[in-house]
Chain A
């Protein structure tokens, strides 16, 4: 294998079945993750054509988007949610796909569950009908969000028709300052490169900062690749990756694990690997970052003032003015001190155990500000169990946070957890789009889980470093 091929290219080549008449590649998919929102129409397409699921052993379903995080008794109060739940149960039963349902202790957000179970492994191609599938790239896999027609393709053939993107290597070197988290790194990258900057690219994240990150932190960064417009993001597998996977339920066991680890590490982009583009950041430039607008690139360091409309290129000004109007924020105002109504800690970006530990460290011994509705929603039942064993749930509830069951919750509000009216939310999720958190006029400020906890305590956007011991 050529030393010039980066990890993406190596995996791509190994998974290419053939070139299609259109010139696209037919790519074999090693793991297909399925959830209740983007799959019912795909299963219907299989029924229409009398097709089966080609590789049910490489397919795993869970439920996350629509489930309530408080009262999960069936039938759900929302008849539409109940219908979707029944549909995925029936589809998985009839097509022979394993479903981690609410009664299964492994259930959770699809992008939390895959890695947790060891299903997500380096060198795989992974797809899901969900844009945040990019999360799994943290393991050194090609992990792509796909649409429902493509979900049907993968169900029926275990392959995808797709063109090969370019690869941009993003290096962040140096050491992050205290109070700067993985979320801040990804928000900073998106702020600089823009929400459309990644179109046409896969992002390879490399350098000191990612080398030093835990797998959970790496997942946070890769998760948000899609917000930067990239087709996917990944980090080369290393000893951290291998250590994370050892002993997971779906990881290879015994001698097979050592063989696997050797193969995984061999896939990493070597020193001679070539890239279509390279961008370098200095870790010292990254501050705790908060979005103020209606896309994830509209952000500032917590100590900065909001920009002026005129400071943007002319082509961007209409969108920037729209963001100020929707958010009801003003040019040159500080973001620190901005009042919030809701604090949400959760989502596939930031609901892992390390996220909850970081937030609990801020919440411990403090009280949520009067008038702030604060939710902590663990990413999976196993994360919830771990947090409860560590007493994190008690720290949160003593501080006045609600401690919920696992699910997507208020990240996209397809369930009862929603903003009301034009509430301002401090959120550890991934999107600040208009209406994203369930109220058409609801407003979202994205930040790290520790920053959300700090905002909950003070009732306003706060530099988390002020509350760190």
Chain B
């Protein structure tokens, strides 16, 4: 699993608040046993209802950095949401804040979600809107988001940042290493022996 220290790409502006995961991927597309093919359905109903939705706008077709508002990814825990964004081509998300289950799902998939101030998120979305070819660098080492000559600081919980920058976001391997310790913890819990 490779280190994710910087993501460089053009942007997709979606500066809206409280975008829930039902909007990112409608529930009817969860009737599946693999994540294949979810990319084309990202934001499907919003795209249908919104004239020139950024996911339908050719100017942003190659965008890899999604710029959002507050509490992005709230609601359902469906990992199908980041899976669909990833398959659409999103490699990093910059926003004011993220819902926690969504954030965790993204980290598991190697998609950094970084928080910037509301003003910075709004300005970054405006920059992308004005210049879709503008290259955005999400730098997890320096904890900065850079575009053109503008640099803003960004934050993410240290544990997620460490996991991504050191390539240790495949938690399965780490958790498996703790098997013996897990058994010890399990044995110490009274309900594991049904209070015998």
Contact = CB atoms under 8 A, between A and B. Distances in A.
Q: Do A and B interact?
A: yes
Interface of A: 14-18, 20-24, 26, 28, 30, 37-38, 40-41, 44-45, 49, 51, 54-55, 65-66, 78, 80-81, 83-84, 87, 121, 123-124, 129-131, 145-150, 152-153, 156-163, 165, 195-196, 199-200, 226-227, 229, 231, 252, 256-257, 259-260, 263, 295, 315-316, 318-319, 322, 412-414, 431, 433-436, 438, 440-441
Interface stretch (B58-66, B93-101, B130-138): B93-101
Contacts of B175: 20, 26, 153, 156-157, 159-161
Given A24-B159, A231-B100, A81 B31 contact: yes
Contact of B185 (A15, A24, A256): A15
A434 B49 CA distance: 11
The winner among A87, A263, A440 for most chain B CB atoms within 10 A is A440
A436 B45 CA distance: 11
Contacts of B157: 163
A318 B190 CA distance: 51
23 contacts: A18-B181, A20-B174, A24-B159, A41-B33, A44-B33, A80-B31, A81-B31, A84-B33, A145-B101, A150-B108, A152-B172, A156-B172, A158-B186, A161-B171, A196-B70, A196-B74, A196-B97, A199-B98, A227-B75, A319-B17, A414-B30, A435-B45, A440-B48
A12 to B, nearest CB: 12
Given A22-B163, A260-B190, A440 B26 contact: yes
Contacts of B74: 195-196, 229, 295
Given A15-B185, A196-B97, A256-B196, A20 B171 contact: yes
B46 A37 contact: no
Nearest to B23: A434
Nearest to A259: B195
Interface of B: 16-18, 20, 22-23, 26-28, 30-35, 45-46, 48-49, 70-71, 74-80, 82, 97-101, 104-105, 108-109, 118, 157-160, 162-163, 166, 168, 171-172, 174-176, 178-179, 181-182, 184-186, 188-192, 194-196
Contacts, number: 222
Give the interface SS of chain B, mostly helix, strand, loop or mixed: helix
Contacts of B82: 147
Contacts of A263: 190, 195
Contact of B159 (A22, A412, A431): A22
A21 B178 CA distance: 12
B9 to A, nearest CB: 23
Closest 3 CB pairs of A and B: A147-B105, A196-B71, A147-B79
B185 A16 contact: yes
Given A17-B178, A149-B109, A30 B191 contact: yes
B78 to A, nearest CB: 7
Nearest to B33: A40
B100 A200 contact: yes
Contacts of B192: 30
